[in-house]
Amino acid sequence: MRSVVKTKLQQVVATRERWPTYASLREDEDLRKASWNEMFKDLRVRMIMHDMTDVPLPQPSDAELNRATYSKYYGGNCGKGGIFTQPCGWEGTLELFTGSVGDSDYVRSSKMLEHQEEYQNSDPQRDGTIIPFTNVYDKGYRVILDCVRHGKQLCWQPVFARSNKRYGTFSTLLTAVVAYTRSGNERSVKHVKHSWLIVRGCGIGQSFDLDFIADMWLAWGFQINFI
């Protein structure tokens, strides 16, 4: 039975590699809800929302491996993977990393901005202009300059504030708008968590290895667009 599952899994992974990672700007505009158009007005915006979640892993006996896979945020050993969503509803998962990786380091190491730059350059407008991605992140990410360096992409996220510092009116409104907009990405996290294997990961007594879980993470993140 495991052999059958792995064979079908490799078919999905191979299909994912041949499929475009993102929806084009025209597809996004045609398929997204009218409320997005009201928000963007007459602007053409290539928006993408990013988030991360965990895949549980057993606690390893090796101290170095335990430190690499332990996440303070999730309170245990895990793998961390990125999840993205576009306004039209197209969503997907990015490669799993060890749980100790920080959000900003994940963006750089996964080369998501490089991939997005390559895609936006392959999807120019009729007049040849390039509309860059507008990345919507939580305030844990420090990648504004990284976005600019890769195809002049934009970064939209809540306002940072030092401890005990009060927000002004503009900062409060901006933070609220970003949080409201980015909440759509929580739906994608919920969809990914529908997988029984991803929720349980490589738990004790589970016969699947790390390579299988990593492929399952990518395959399920692709399949949820069609089921």
157-215 residue pLDDT tens = 877 766 666 667 676 777 777 777 777 777 888 888 888 888 877 655 555 578 888 99
Q: What is the pLDDT of residues 30-55, one digit of tens each?
A: 999 888 888 888 889 999 999 999 99
Spatial distance between the Cα atoms of 58 and 152, rounded to a whole number of angstroms: 40
Contact between 197 and 218 under an 8 Å Cβ cutoff? The reply is no
Neighbours of 178 (CB within 10 A): 19
Domain spans of the chain, in order of start = 2-160+169-223
What is the tens place of the pLDDT at every residue in 101-126?
Answer: 999 999 999 999 999 999 999 999 98
| pTM summary value | 0.86
Contacts 24+ apart (CB under 8 A), 71-78: 71/99, 71/100, 74/99, 78/54, 78/201
pLDDT of residue 42: 81
